[in-house]
Structure 1
């Protein structure tokens, strides 16, 4: 059997995507809307999508579709219940950003703990040039060594962040649905995680249980000197509450790589937050050249495994 493979949003992946070894027809589009997806997948047996929505209504119109290969870890763009109903196998990508995302997380942490944005702004404003001393220390600088790193979630990426935290001499505590037996970290309650972490980093999936798990009340319970890092999913944090917490000095700072809606609308409250204690990057923590190539290779591995009758990385 020759499969027809359609990649709906090829430009979302900057990497060499090798072609599967089995007989197939390959079509790719730079990007696709949800409306375009149905027509473009009309004859496809395998769909590749990074973020293009494939909902129940769309899947009902694609009776020949056998597999959806998600070119990402998150599968929020696919109606998994509808896929099961139609017998469509859904696979995703796993553990490819094991180095990229933890490194990005620590780039945010270091910039905020050492107030790099504020000091750069001072230099641009000429404050150092006019200083009566050889240095400026108008903003607090806090070492990571000896501080507490709290992790919400302890999968592959959380473990990667913990590894770097320990290398910096941080105490690592975690709160997870299933407590870890890692001897180098300590399991704590959600309350203790909030109230005692100097750096709170989120690495949990977005579910109905975790949506807005960090809201106004949770932010008030954090240390005033603490920073919040989110490189997981935007919906984990109430964005309006975070903006108010930062402008009101409830917490010391925040570094985000994700927003609730992506791309964000112009009126997103965090997109328009201009503060030296807030860093926002455009969902790029995962996107090192090495990580994207690992993703591309695993994407085709998943497709080849499915065609061979031994599907892998299946999402239930």
Structure 2
């Protein structure tokens, strides 16, 4: 039986070696003939390539590497209309991320090229990072760390007005209840926090009920965002929503920067309406060095790396290999973004 030609277009996170190891475990070393293309991300930031976004590498290198390939596995390669048009043998692309933003899915569908993703690959990492940021904000850990580094030993931080807050006994509102939100809820339960959820798309058999957003905001000492970014959710937390939260509440966002009005956050931190804020995502990335958010009080900030763990990369490779295996066995692969492509196949 001839080997299936596969392009492994890894990077320095989901590496070529991880993908090839997962493919061999799923299908056997003799089932595939693999070529590799190592993309420069994350040492070189991703960006827009032609009509696709959050991509790494260039079209010409990808076209050359795809010669004869029937399957491609990647996280960041730019599968543009031009690339797809030049890849006659290609039948399957597996994207090692939650959404195929670096793939022109419509153009792939028109050519009968199936596109799969690996949703949930970073749910554990993102949930744990969310709680780490939340605790850092509640206890002012970044500021305390900087103080100790500066040679200070501030006993005045025991003053009642300077103390942080506990999660135990607090009400935490989760906006969005997908794979990450559900895991955050389980972690918070271990802290004896009360969890409210707002998600209008909860399935009928969900173990929680959706609380109206206005009620969730008014009752929650901490609000953590886990919603997808869409026209419906863009800017969903602005000045009015922040004003509806209890004074001194904490806002956490590890989902997408476009969910939040950041100038409103800065103003609320300055006024004390927000007691703290913790963010891993921002409206513009990287953050403008002149952004007032960087000097706002009581913040815990990280550079969009909530999902960056060794286990996330390993899980993404395994999920991708599972999709390749299903497709090659003639099954409908999991997390298929364009089922109509199978009809063309």
Normalising by structure 1, we get a TM-score of 0.85
Partners of 2:305 and 2:14 lie apart in 1 by 12
Alpha-carbon distance in structure 2 between the residues aligned to 1:104 and 1:293:
18
Does 2:163 correspond to 1:147? no
Once the two structures are superposed, residues 99-139 of structure 1 have per-residue CA deviations (whole angstroms, 9 ceiling, x without a partner) of: 3222111111111111112223333444426x5x7956662
Instruction: Tell me whether 1:295 sits opposite 2:296 in the alignment.
Output: no
Match status 1:178 vs 2:201: yes
What residue number does 2:337 align with? 315
2:57 corresponds in structure 1 to 33
Unpaired stretches in structure 2, ≥5 consecutive residues:
41-55, 339-345
Query: In structure 2, do the counterparts of structure 1 residues 177 and 187 end up closer, same or farther at CA, with 3 Å as the change threshold?
Result: closer
Secondary structure at 1:150 match in 2: strand
Q: Measure the CA separation in 2 of the matches of 1:48 and 1:260.
A: 29
CA gap 1:56/1:224 in 2 versus in 1, 3 angstroms? farther
Aligned to 2:18: 16
Q: Distance in 1 between matches of 2:271 and 2:109?
A: 47
Normalised TM-score (structure 2): 0.79
Distance 1:134 1:289, change over 3 A: closer
Distance 1:307 1:273, change over 3 A: same
Shift of residue 250 of structure 1? 3.5
Q: Which is helix-richer, 1 or 2?
A: 2
SS of equivalent to 2:12: helix
Once residues 38 and 244 of structure 1 are traced to their aligned partners in structure 2, the CA distance between those partners, rounded to angstroms, is 48
Cα 1:56/1:177, change in 2 over 3 Å: farther
Contact 1:12 1:50 in 2 (8 A): no
Q: Which residue of 1 aligns with 2:8?
A: 7
**CA gap 1:240/1:179 in 2 versus in 1, 3 angstroms:** same
Distance 1:228 1:77 in 2: 30
* Native 8 Å contact 1:117 1:276 kept in 2: no
1:211 and 1:48 map into 2 onto residues whose CA distance is 31
RMSD: 2.8
* Structure 2 CA distance for partners of 1:165 and 1:60, relative to 1, 3 Å: same
Runs of 5+ consecutive residues of structure 1 not aligned to the other structure: none
Q: What is the number of residues matched between the two proteins?
A: 311
